[in-house]
Structure 1
């Protein structure tokens, strides 16, 4: 099928945590023979911070963030069999959503890469554009959320809501040699965002304060003016090409969910699978559903707060860290690859096309 996908960016992970997810899913879909065009706006300096060149598995159209350019890319998707509007494009989100609804012969999908936050907005805003769009959309796909998200979207009127979880592309994220630039006892890769900052203060910065003799490393945008203890080193944006070395070098790496994802559960971030794919020893904040993806104490360490993180670090030997990382890698290769997610989405699209081909 021809797929027109309107998202934030495929080429750049700069202020764009969904990039890895898009790349993994679309690469896997292309392997099933789908012809994909990804439309992304030239916004937020992402094009100046590209991580990859245009890939072979999708045609990428970068358009100016103007109304005229928006109209042209929406018209260009008119011959697609599937039109997808992803959440969080950042510019023209409402107009893009309304635009894909003007293609009634196509499978029309809203793909929510931050469902917990979107649903929270919908609960507090009766005029949110998703409310009026749900009746015309064929389905909502999400990259997490489990039963709470499915029930919430269907309660708002979605015809179908199906989670397509984050995963691993083993060709992209895999064990790599150590890089002394990333040497630390604990590493965290996270942009500074309002709905995660307090949790990072608790799980990362508090742990650093409790262990002044240990080294902590913080990668990501926005931390340059954040007060931190002397044992924390903030290194700024880390490009995707360096993520494997970032995950493989520290004794352990930390995942901290955003507020909404932690509250709703069943929402593993891309970082979880990137770290597991690199055979890193991962410590994650506690959230419901972690057992669906990795087994606590054997494939991942789970922390309820910064004190727990500190206790994990104090008890963690290099041998145990390697054992946990190796077990996590084996688990994600067996159950959580983008190849498997691609099979899932291909089956969803094939079934939906068959449904639409049956006369009413």
Structure 2
């Protein structure tokens, strides 16, 4: 960010018109400036009155409600990592920003591990498999009343060209280190996270729209009052008409998280038949063992941070942090060496693994190293 852009940002924060993302971007510069001289030469405002007003505006926007922890900067445009329940200091990171500390101490005994990307395998109803990251933009297949193609941006689209009759199941699966976007025949959009899969009819029948999910996906469901949309996982069913929501249902997790951003959804637990209806900003937590279903208000944007290119950790145990990293970077973790500590913050998903571990290491007492594509902790 150059001086002119920063000045415009300061003015927006000063008059209260800045977005959450812009506030976070300002914080990244402000905190870095307090920790060290800004190497880029960008000047922060000299007017103490303006600075105080900006800080007050920021505090009003991010002040926690009866939380036992200090204020946390949890916005997606910046990346911060705070170690432990009692925060003693932190540094905000953003893509391309200078890291104000010593060079990485993360030992890597194998080639650098890059971030994941758009990778998936599509299996058509006739059994044909397509490696999506290897095909060019254009038609992939034409079935009865249906065209399947890849856009220039890499998205897979199912487009009705007539009265679709092929209701055979299609299947898209992302590997560890992969993600993908797909537009279903009804116009609904789905973002698949790493190590996830979705099964769906090539063309939806007249009665209902039903898909089966393993792993994590974000849905923007096209409105169709006559055909409810159902997302099936091994432990629950989500019923919607037209709405935006995220489902995290990795089989290795003890809990399924369903987070609603827009509209309304009904969730039914398979084991207990317990049912709940979510409003925007609410999250349902289903215990896979007991079938109990609870809900609470959350920051719904945190749940889809992965779709927007970020890891968001909110008082998250290090074991869960490393589990998320292992899926995205396609590495293993050594659970026996993981201490019971928590992290809060935001990290860009496009950084190489060593840099991400360096961010974690800088804020805590742990030292990480990578050996044979396994994240380990020094003791």
**TM-score (norm: length of structure 2):** 0.24
Tell which structure's C-alpha radius of gyration is larger. 2
Decide which structure has greater strand share.
2
Decide which structure has greater helix share.
1
